[in-house]
Amino acid sequence: MLEVNGIDVAYGHIQALRRVSLRAQAGEIVALTGPNGAGKSTVLRTISGLLRPLAGEVILDGTRIDRMAPERIVEMGVSHLPEGRGIFPTLSVEENLRMGYFIKRRDRLGFKSNVERVTELFPRIRERWSQAAGTLSGGEQQMLALARALLPEPRLLMIDELSLGLAPIVVQQLLSRVQEINEQGTTILLVEQYVNLALRIARRGYVMEKGRIAMSGEANQLLKDSEQMRASYLGGGGLGASDDVAAAALAEDAAATAPAKRRAPRKTATRRTKTG
Ligand SMILES: Nc1ncnc2c1ncn2[C@@H]1O[C@H](COP(=O)(O)OP(=O)(O)O)[C@@H](O)[C@H]1O
Ligand SMILES: [Mg+2]
């Protein structure tokens, strides 16, 4: 349903993306990962029409959208949960949802039934209805941001850094919700700094580095490759390996796949150390 073909994107004189191509088929969860500054958010901003590519194209269901206004792209079924959530902290939960909804539609009845639909996924949102959004916990704020992004009934939901600042257990719960959203028919493009987090629920993935796609493939294969990269470049791997969240996810992975899968590395004692 989504095709990004060889896009170049720049901020003024700074080129952020070079020849980036990726695709998502209807019903898929696709992960877009890579270290901080790699260009992941820039890809999402370009798809949602906030940035224009200098070269290349973005195609949604056969229609070229890279020259369209962001509102039009929302109408075509693309919803973008931005990095940092984009919540208005002094507004209530309800007001935040209304702002998200009325950007696209104006009918009040539609709002009510749509809110019922999304609060079934996130009952906690209901309980916090009149509370200022800024007083919610980080996890609740992310639920609110997800609920708001779902109100216009997107066919493609793009999520930028779901895990940002959240405890692993909360991230786990949110990832399960994302899987449910996907099972209900929404295609997901999941941007995560932490390779293993995103790849755990994705079918396919892309790893970015310095504005380019460095690796792509089936999620299982990418997980193996990135683990191998971590093993061979201990400390130097820009894949977020040292982060707590990633470490916790890895530990859970290990627990889930033990005892079967932990093989000893083929080669031992060939790692070079820099001693100067
Ligand atoms: N608003 C901006 N103005 C100038 N440069 C930017 C802006 N946003 C991002 N960049 C630069 O573009 C590159 C890609 O950034 P970004 O897409 O935010 O990466 P990621 O989301 O993978 O961390 C980085 O070098 C970053 O410094
Ligand atoms: Mg980003």
- Using the mean position of ligand 1's atoms as its centre, give its distance from the Cα of residue 115 in Å: 33
Protein residues with C-beta less than 5 angstroms from the ion ligand 2: 40-41, 83
Task: Output the pTM of the full model.
Answer: 0.83
Residue 104 has pLDDT above 70, yes or no: no
DSSP string computed for the chain: -EEEEEEEEEETTEEEEEEEEEEE-TT-EEEEE-STTSSHHHHHHHHTTSS--SEEEEEETTEE-TTS-HHHHHHTTEEEE-TTTT--TTSBHHHHHHHHHHTT---HHHHHHHHHHHHHH-HHHHHTTTSBGGGS-HHHHHHHHHHHHHTT--SEEEEE-TTTT--HHHHHHHHHHHHHHHHTT-EEEEEES-HHHHHHH-SEEEEEETTEEEEEEEHHHHHHHHHHHHHHTTTT-TTTTT-HHHHHHHHHHHHHHTTTS-PPPSS-S-------
Residue 256 has pLDDT above 70, yes or no: no
Q: Provide mean pLDDT across the span 26-31.
A: 97
Please indicate whether residue 95 or residue 196 has the higher confidence score (pLDDT).
Answer: 95
| Predicted confidence (pLDDT) per residue in 199-236, tens digit | 889 999 999 999 999 999 999 888 888 777 766 654 44
Nearest ligand, CA of residue 40? 1
Residue 183 has pLDDT above 90, yes or no: yes
Please indicate whether residue 33 or residue 270 has the higher confidence score (pLDDT).
Answer: 33
pLDDT number for residue 199: 87
Ligand 1 atom having least distance to the Cα of 83: 21
pLDDT number for residue 115: 87
Residue 50 has pLDDT above 50, yes or no: yes
User: Ligand 1 in contact with 45 (CB < 6 A)?
Assistant: no
pLDDT number for residue 198: 86
